[in-house]
Amino acid sequence: MTGTTVHLAVYDTFADWEPGFATAHLTQHGHTVRTVGPTSAPVTTMGGLRVVPDLALDGLRPEDSALLVLTGASLWDTGDTLAPFARTARAFLDAGVPVAAVCGATAGLAREGLLDDRTHTSAVSFYLAATGYAGGPHYTEADAVTDPGGPGTGALITAGPTEPVAFAREILGLLGVYGPEKLDAWFRLFHDSDASAYEVLQG
């Protein structure tokens, strides 16, 4: 399982459209996606879908995973309910396992101090600034960003809520699903509707 399993965090109000491009193409290319909830109890997404987690957060270990994906959710901005997921992200990064966060999850990581010293992005800079974090100088205006981390630490992907395709691009590139040429073509196809990119993907 190590190296081929990606863990997707699921919790009430999570933005179910944000990880879809990534999880679909990871699954099609040999990765297993497992969902991780606060407990094993079902959660309800922002879109009203009921999801039964594959495992509870207290059973998740970095050594069993290739990547932890954290999506946005209303709960990131309404209290500390999801703080355990941010602490788990710290454990992953400290263990050298990458983390990918989009939308509100970036604010959760900011509150945990995980963006203080890493290049990152989010919805807008003042959204993260409102958390009181110290990472403002490292904020980048981009659709999605991958910070490779230092020796012994995991890479960190961040993206804003309007960029699920760019978020997926960074994930697929990090995990080696596509090489640079095909990754660019994949992005042009799904982000720009560039039909000519399909031939590159099929080549």
Report, as residue numbers or ranges, the catalytic residues.
103
CA distances from 185 to 6, 98, 164 (A): 23, 24, 16
DSSP state of 77: G
Instruction: Provide the edge-to-edge strand list for the sheet that holds 144-147.
Output: 55-56, 32-37, 5-9, 67-70, 99-102, 156-159, 144-147
CA distances from 86 to 47, 62, 66, 125, 195 (A): 23, 13, 17, 19, 39
Report the distance separating Cα 51 and Cα 175, nearest Å.
Answer: 25
Handedness of CA 16, 22, 28, 33 (dihedral sign): negative
Q: What are phi and psi of 144, to 5 degrees?
A: -160, 150
Of the candidates 109, 115, 108, 32, the residue with the CA atom closest to the CA atom of residue 76: 108
